[in-house]
Amino acid sequence: MKVLVTGGMGYIGSHTCVQMIEAGLEPVILDNLCNSKEAVLERINQLTGKTPVFYQGDIRDREILDQIFSEQSIDSVIHFAGLKAVGESVEKPLEYYDNNVHGTLMLVDAMKSAGVNSLVFSSSATVYGDPAEVPINENTPTGNVTNPYGRSKYMVEECLRDIQYAAPEMSITLLRYFNPVGAHPSGTMGEDPQGIPNNLMPFIAQVAVGRREFLSVFGNDYPTPDGTGVRDYIHVMDLADGHIAALNAVGKKDGLHIFNLGTGKGSSVLEMVDAFSDACGHDIAYKLCPRRPGDIAECWADTSKATKELNWEAKFDVKAMAADTWRWQSANPKGY
């Protein structure tokens, strides 16, 4: 099966390409390299012995989309390409709606013209906003989002819902990720954020390797066991396997398919700091700071639907997430 992977050079996309090749699938990558590096191709080759076909371009460029669909016999699309920083989205909402919403509509229109009816979309648990209760299942209400990034994901989901209803022959899968962390166990691939990391684990890793002085922990007065925010962290390798499971289970079944991808367990910020201290062998410097507006106390997934319908469940624990992140960061202190 030949699969177009938009944003395939990015953190989650690149790990998914590795797992796809190992599973006998053939990824074709489209990426504009705005938040990734071409060196990723070489790392994929090191791990798999194969280098995916790579097109450098943007999902909003209809010409390159049509070129890919005419040159490659694409069976399905996994759509990762998107801007994903919450803070940046507040400052640059136009860019987020243009890239994430408009870009997805351009992609789907090109798919329809090419007769490609299978799409797996990289969505996010942010579509649930501040949930009334946890764990969160796929029927938890969506749309009460607090920032343009989350709103763009919610908008895309609603667009895809309407598109699938109007074109019932399409198979559209929405994968709602919780908090992706970790790296390839080899240490050759991992998360390499541009500038100041927006997410917890790469920030901890940069403190551990000496690139940053300390971690800011925003809020220690939440109604949680240690007062810090609790999230469902999922290893990127488990997440990658979730996409392959979705392709295999529902990628050829018409309809709208929705799944949470997480571990079903919550871990606090300080628990993640402790796990990383164990992995790297020294303490992680941190400072307690006031809560950030819009942050919620706790959020974790009910993953029973994915387990039942996709025959998938997360295998890696927090200890492995920290160990693999440290192996990547210590071997690649400045990223790719």
What is the per-residue pLDDT across 48-62, written as a single tens digit (0 to 9) for each? 999 999 999 999 999
**What is the arithmetic mean of pLDDT over 123-129?**
95
**pLDDT band per the 50, 70, 90 thresholds, residue 1:** very high
Where exactly are the structural domains of the chain?
2-181+233-261, 187-231+265-301+317-331
Percent of the chain with pLDDT over 70: 100
User: Fold identical between 2-181+233-261 and 187-231+265-301+317-331?
Assistant: no
Class of domain 187-231+265-301+317-331: alpha beta
pLDDT at 132: 86
- Tokens linked to 259: 């799944």
Q: How far is CA 242 from its chain centroid?
A: 11
**pLDDT band per the 50, 70, 90 thresholds, residue 289:** very high
Alpha carbon distance 333, 126 (integer Å): 30
> 328: closest CA among 285, 232, 336, 269?
336
Catalytic positions: 149
Class of domain 2-181+233-261: alpha beta
**pLDDT band per the 50, 70, 90 thresholds, residue 195:** confident
For 271, other C-beta atoms within 10 Å of its C-beta total 16
Strands ordered across the beta sheet of 230-231 = 267-268, 230-231, 298-299
Alpha carbon distance 213, 184 (integer Å): 26
pLDDT at 7: 98
pLDDT at 294: 72
Alpha carbon distance 164, 110 (integer Å): 15
At 217, give phi and psi (nearest 5°): -100, 110
- Tokens linked to 242: 């979730």
pLDDT at 295: 82
**What is the arithmetic mean of pLDDT over 280-297?**
92
pLDDT at 8: 98
